[in-house]
Amino acid sequence: DSHIQYERVGADVTMKCGSMDWDAAVTWTANGTDIDESHLNGSYLVLKNVDLSQSGQYSCYEGSSWHLKYQTSLRVGTPPKEPVLMCRSNNYPKGFYCSWHLPTPTYIPNTFNISVIHGTKDMVCEKDATPKNRCHIRYLQLFSTVKYKVTLTVTNPLGKNFTTLTFDEFAIVKPDPPESVVAKPVPNNPRRLEVSWQNPSSWPDPESFPLKFFLRYRPLILDQWQHVELSDGTSHTITDAYAGKEYIIQVAAKDNDIGTWSDWSVAVHATPWTEEPKHLTTEAQITETTSASTSSFMAPPTTKICDKGAVVGSGAVAVCWTAGLVVAAYSVLFI
């Protein structure tokens, strides 16, 4: 007859050898290894201040016959601490999901029970196949001021605990981050980067429930982000990028009217367009100016033609003429 026995970490455990008398001669094993007699009190096995490593299969054999008289699986663990519960609607207005976990492991099996009440109405939170610690609910009503109350109870053989969340429909709306963020240089524009992205695929109806977006970008070499909030559209052109610098760019989303901002999207990197340094191969005298953090080249005084958008100057404004065209002056800030 096999048993399972759950005990708290630190407890003193006494195991009886089935129906054997106290003074019977027995041998105890733990996971097949004989246990020293010092742990015995008669035929009882006494384990003091048990720890996790003492979990295992304990067997008791009668004296000389070695008949198995009793077997138990000892599982050392802890009662559950207050669980951590989170509810969120990333697919508004379809519904919301709740997910949970324990702040510390119990080392023994736990059962989770979730109840959702909306006003006086009980709602069913359908458990997801994966991940296991998650369930979802469809909204039966929209635009309700009545709060939802979600109670999660966790039970294991050593105890029980619970937590409750109360929230209203709008407060938990948080879309997933935008997807497929792409940043590209713009040809012949050394200070521009074209960024585009898509609505998160989990957001069911962006037409009726439009999202707004927040873009942040910075050159890799700086810590300070620049931010742009966009009330519509899924693209934006950065026009003040530092020439030649690699940028890191991220986008976040939020329902236009309610809820909170999504997490930031996966970061993308891009460097604005720079002209190919063709002049290095010509016979003209090229002065290549470099500094610790940037590289640019200065067109030689004898050069008559330079491409539109060529970057010139070292902190100074210069004008570059091409046949028939006036090229706008740039000032390039050195970092």
Binding stretches for other proteins (CB under 8 A): 93, 140-147, 170, 207-210, 257-258
Least distance from other proteins to the Cβ atom of residue 139, Å: 9
- The DSSP code sequence of 108-128 is S--EEEEEEEETTEEE--EEP
- Of 18 and 93, CB closest to other proteins: 93
- Of 99 and 144, CB closest to other proteins: 144
Residues in a beta bridge with 255:
211
- Of 144 and 196, CB closest to other proteins: 144
Give the Cα separation of 297 and 277 in Å (integer): 8
Least distance from other proteins to the Cβ atom of residue 89, Å: 14
Give the Cα separation of 47 and 27 in Å (integer): 15
Q: Is 38 helix (H, G, I), strand (E, B) or coil?
A: helix
Max CA separation in the chain (angstroms): 113
Least distance from other proteins to the Cβ atom of residue 6, Å: 40
- Of 146 and 280, CB closest to other proteins: 146
Helix (H) or strand (E) holding 270: strand 268-270
Least distance from other proteins to the Cβ atom of residue 251, Å: 23
- Of 173 and 299, CB closest to other proteins: 173
Give the Cα separation of 35 and 37 in Å (integer): 6
Instruction: Tell me the CA distances in angstroms from 182 to 39, 60, 82, 246, 266, one per residue in order.
Output: 67, 67, 42, 14, 10
Least distance from other proteins to the Cβ atom of residue 39, Å: 57
